[in-house]
Structure 1
Amino acid sequence: MDVVAREMLEGLPWELLYADDLVLMANSEEELRDNIRIHNNDNLENGGLDIVNGLTLEKKVDKFGYLGDMLNADCGVDSAVFARIGQAWEKFREMSSILTNKKVSLKLKGKVYGSCVRSCLVYGGKTWAMKATHEVKLERTEMRMIRWICWVSLREKN
């Protein structure tokens, strides 16, 4: 069982490949240096990837942003969900001249919302290990935006 667990700690989420970049995460500086050394050896043997060894660790961070995604040190998705919600609201504000205009049809508003705002809200969501609270936050955000588009208040009843 220890062998299986050890293999699970290698690779994702401890290593993340983005385009031509590689992000390595570790619990200590020594472990990180070992990972760099392993990747250098593996990639030199396979003939190609050059990993620069000029790493200086300045401080431990709880979260960091990379290519539009937020990563937590504890491998949670809180930062990613909050970042996506904020970015979706930014996009909503950019598109508000269409989305909140009473002269624009709901059909067109729906297409604009789906392609611009909702896609921004859920981007990368398939890779998140979401909890129920994260899903609720995303659903509430989406429903608030849709109510705003339709000019419907929470106080209004059917």
Structure 2
Amino acid sequence: MKTSTSEGKHGIRWTAQNQLDDLDFADDLALLSHTHEQMQTKTASVTAISASVGLNDLDFADDLALLSHTHEQMQTKTASVAAVSASVGLSIHKEKTKVLIFKAENSNSITLDGETLEDVESFTYIGSIIDEQGGSDTDVKARIGKARVAFVQLKNIWSSKQLSTNIKVRIFNSKVKAVLLYGAETWRTKTTTIKKVQVFINSCLRKILNIHWPDTISNSLLWERTNRLPAEEEIRKRRWKWIGHTLCKFKLHHETSPNLES
């Protein structure tokens, strides 16, 4: 139950109660109902609405990723985008255009102006890797590799006697962890994924604190001394912040969009 309150002379008193209908987070939805009939109706309604809404493409500046369920649909979309682009004086760079096929029955090539577009096993979109296996394992592996390079490049910082631990950790957050957790809001996180990220972070923090074998320190004490949250909790907070920003932006867009109905 969601409850609102008001403050009177004798402190806080309950004034209103609103029914909590559903729990929503990203693509995880928990429907709540008091009766079987209500749950059946909700389930059917959500199914119908989901089927009517499709994610057709991803757009960022001049980077366009078309999404389709069938070969025919993708071929039509590709030709349509090329035609619309040509009408305003733009052209598609065929050598930079790639095709990724994921569990498709028809694996025939996609063509553009009679030329066959290259099939690939993965592609990078706005810095994140999308591959034919799905999930986030490939992207997380690449993120750890890039963050490791960034950490090594700053080795003089970590070994400096003039800089405090607090300053070093702040530099680590802005120069290394920012690289590591780029796009983490959309990762499909598994226990193994979180563990890989956490192991890398712990290794870096131990080097910053100049703790080397055979000296040891527990993870909880390590996080306490560097004022850090566990990776799982930090990624969770990033997700909530991202979904909140997205929902606010979606609401603002609808509130400010002109009503063209007559």
TM-score (norm 1): 0.75
Cα distance between partner residues in 2 of 1:4 and 1:37: 29
| Aligned counterpart, 1:73 | 132
Q: Using a 3 Å threshold, how does the CA distance of structure 1 residues 3 and 34 change in structure 2: closer, same or farther?
A: farther
Cα distance between partner residues in 2 of 1:87 and 1:125: 14
Deviations 1:80-104 (A, max 9, x none): 1011111101111121111233442
Cα distance between partner residues in 1 of 2:165 and 2:174: 14
Q: Which runs of 5+ in 1 are unaligned?
A: none
Per-residue deviation, 1:154: 5.2
| Aligned counterpart, 1:131 | 190
The answer to whether the Cα contact below 8 Å between 1:72 and 1:79 also exists between their aligned partners in 2 is yes
Q: Using a 3 Å threshold, how does the CA distance of structure 1 residues 35 and 73 change in structure 2: closer, same or farther?
A: farther
Cα distance between partner residues in 1 of 2:172 and 2:151: 8
The answer to whether the Cα contact below 8 Å between 1:29 and 1:57 also exists between their aligned partners in 2 is no
Q: Does 1:106 find its partner at 2:106?
A: no
Q: Which runs of 5+ in 2 are unaligned?
A: 1-43, 93-111, 218-262
| Aligned counterpart, 1:22 | 64
Q: Using a 3 Å threshold, how does the CA distance of structure 1 residues 146 and 115 change in structure 2: closer, same or farther?
A: same
- Pick aligned residue for 2:118 from 14, 37, 58: 58
Aligned to 2:65, the other structure's residue is in SS state: strand
Q: Using a 3 Å threshold, how does the CA distance of structure 1 residues 34 and 154 change in structure 2: closer, same or farther?
A: farther
The answer to whether the Cα contact below 8 Å between 1:88 and 1:117 also exists between their aligned partners in 2 is yes
- Pick aligned residue for 1:144 from 182, 203, 223: 203
Which has the larger Rg? 2
Percent identity at matched positions?
A: 26
Q: What value does the CA root-mean-square deviation take over the aligned residues? A: 3.1
Deviations 1:52-98 (A, max 9, x none): 45463222x22122332211123311111011111101111121111
The answer to which structure, 1 or 2, has the higher relative contact order (CA under 8 A, 6+ apart) is 1
TM-score (norm 2): 0.48
